[in-house]
Chain A
Amino acid sequence: MTMTSRAGISVDRLEAAARRDPGPADVGDALPPAQRKPASRALLARHSPWILTMLSVAAGVVVWAIASRTLDSPLFPSPLRIAQALIESIGNGTLLADIAVSVRRIAIGFVLGCLVGVPLGLAMGLFPLVRAFCDPVVQFLRFVPPIAWLIPAIMWFGIGETSKIAIIFYMTVFLVLLNTMTGVAAIPRNQLRSAENYGVSGWQLFAWIVFPATLSYSVAGARIAMGNSFAAVVGAELIAANAGLGYRIVDSGQWMAMDQMFGAMLVLGLLGIAADRLARLLATRFLRHYVHADDHGD
């Protein structure tokens, strides 16, 4: 008895801590009236995420500008120079072409990876025999990073698109597969039991329970993969490529065109953010109820 109550105290503390976590919501409104700030401060609190974002970006630019000014080296082009290079590359069409090439590689590899990763992850989660057979290979390969496959991929698939897409595909498959498998294991037992109770057939269990119950896990895996694929595409374009953002970084670096190089890096980062935001938007829009009650937000 005493033990449970003692344990209870610490659990209470944890929960209190969790409640204190402000999360994405508007903190100002959650405070009791006595702690409310005056109107102007409340306004600041409401818009603070945006204000802080702007400040953060501005600070980054300023730090870069100061560094570039004080060092006065061609290795540190000023923000203005980088912007000019960007505008120039938009003007002559290279930027859009590079973006198109890289995004296409990412998109194809990513979609193929999801198309293979989700069913395989479900099958491994559902059927012990499939899991027993595939798991050793999966466990081994997941510690061999995509970049390690770059040379063999080029040797096998040539220097064309296939080798680059294969790298993205490889990376996506494992993340999606492992997450999906975890999702199957995490289905509450009573959800399966109740479905069994109502006499669902095999395919009904799959389509009506297992797939929707696992979807949020697959999507979480896909989101991580989407983020990583921007790193992976640079890796894939390091060697034997003649277009793409990764190629542009390597190529302009070799020509000491640092402004172009940083411009491409900037675009890469922005594209990554945009892709992640889009994925998040779609997930909250269409998958809100597929997410388990506790993992809302993030």
Chain B
Amino acid sequence: MATEPVAAGSQAAEQGSIAVRDVSFGFGSGRPEVLDDVTFDVASGEFFVLLGPSGCGKSTVLNLIAGFEQPTQGTVLASGRPVAGAARDRVVIFQDSDSLYGWLTVRDNVTFPLRVQGIAARERDERALAALKVVGLKGHEDKYPGELSGGMKQRTQLARALVLDAPILLMDEPFAALDAQTRSILQDELVQLSVTMRRTVLFITHDIGEAILLGDRVGIMRAGPGSSIKETIVVHLSRPRRRGSAEFGALYDRIHRSISEEVQQALRREDSLL
């Protein structure tokens, strides 16, 4: 249960920091609380990974930070300011690829956020092309989402988020649909982005190895309902990280055990309800 001390102080909240304080949330009265007293901080430029059993509320936490939902209790701060709604300093990569616009080509999907800002077409196309190159979709600019595979859709979403140069990236299982090679390339790109450009990343995944490979810290959530952060683990491994090392394995086991406990407890709770 060793919770690490939180990083940035609330006073000098830096551009790009996230603070979730005593947050509770439920989908309307009469329904069970999804989140009960969630508290964690992500420092500016930090790579924070959220792990937890399916349905525990990871995406819900992300939606609160993104400003799509409002907490029933507690506060959410982004760059030190209370989150009042969605904004493009916190760009979201959604768990489902249905956020792509089916009537626009890949290029037009990726330039869409820039078009909204009124950026000139030339610059839009250049930036889109650069982002598409990063995610390995060059040559597919003129396809429509309906003509893409699941992984290609996911990468289009990624490119659409990257063109914005937002200080905070909120990523909900962005690599879930990818093959191991593509995933590893994109993981490297993402680490680059977070380390060299000092982007703050909140990253949700079910892949413990990926969490250790990428995260500065890993937050583990309890099984719901009424989920909260069970523990936060600092990943002390130096970068670039390799999966083979002994420390990696030890950390993997520790996290695995922690999540298993939660899953087991949830199953027992379900059994007692039946």
Contact = CB atoms under 8 A, between A and B. Distances in A.
Contacts of A212: 101, 103
A103 B175 CA distance: 55
Contact of B102 (A195, A200, A289): A289
Interface residues of B, number: 28
A195 B104 CA distance: 13
Given A191-B98, A289-B144, A197 B66 contact: yes
Contacts of B160: 194
B3 interface: no
A194 B103 contact: no
Contact of A289 (B103, B112, B115): B103
Interface stretch (B13-21, B81-89, B215-223): B81-89
A292 B145 CA distance: 10
A194 B88 contact: no
A96 B29 CA distance: 65
Given A200-B116, A204-B116, A194 B94 contact: yes
Nearest to B93: A194
B92 interface: yes
Contact of A193 (B87, B94, B103, B115): B94
Contacts of A215: 103
Contact of A197 (B92, B145, B146): B92
A196 interface: yes
Q: Of A197, A204, A290, which is in contact with the most chain B CB atoms at under 10 Å from its CB?
A: A197
B91 interface: yes
Nearest to B145: A293
Contacts of A296: 146
A198 B164 contact: yes
Contacts of B85: 196
Contacts, number: 67
B59 to A, nearest CB: 11
Nearest to A293: B146
Given A190-B96, A293-B145, A197 B86 contact: yes
Given A194-B94, A196-B85, A199-B88, A188 B99 contact: yes
A197 B88 contact: yes
B255 to A, nearest CB: 22
Interface string B101-112: 111100000001
A199 B88 CA distance: 6
A290 B103 contact: yes
B68 interface: yes
B113 interface: yes
The 3 closest A-B pairs by CB, nearest first: A190-B99, A198-B113, A293-B146
Interface of B: 66, 68, 85-88, 90-92, 94, 96, 98-104, 112-113, 115-117, 144-146, 160, 164
22 contacts: A188-B98, A188-B99, A190-B94, A190-B96, A190-B98, A190-B99, A191-B99, A191-B100, A193-B99, A194-B160, A197-B86, A198-B112, A198-B113, A199-B86, A199-B116, A199-B117, A208-B112, A213-B101, A289-B144, A289-B146, A293-B102, A293-B146
Given A194-B160, A289-B104, 10 more contacts: A188-B96, A188-B99, A191-B101, A196-B86, A197-B87, A198-B88, A198-B112, A198-B117, A199-B117, A208-B115
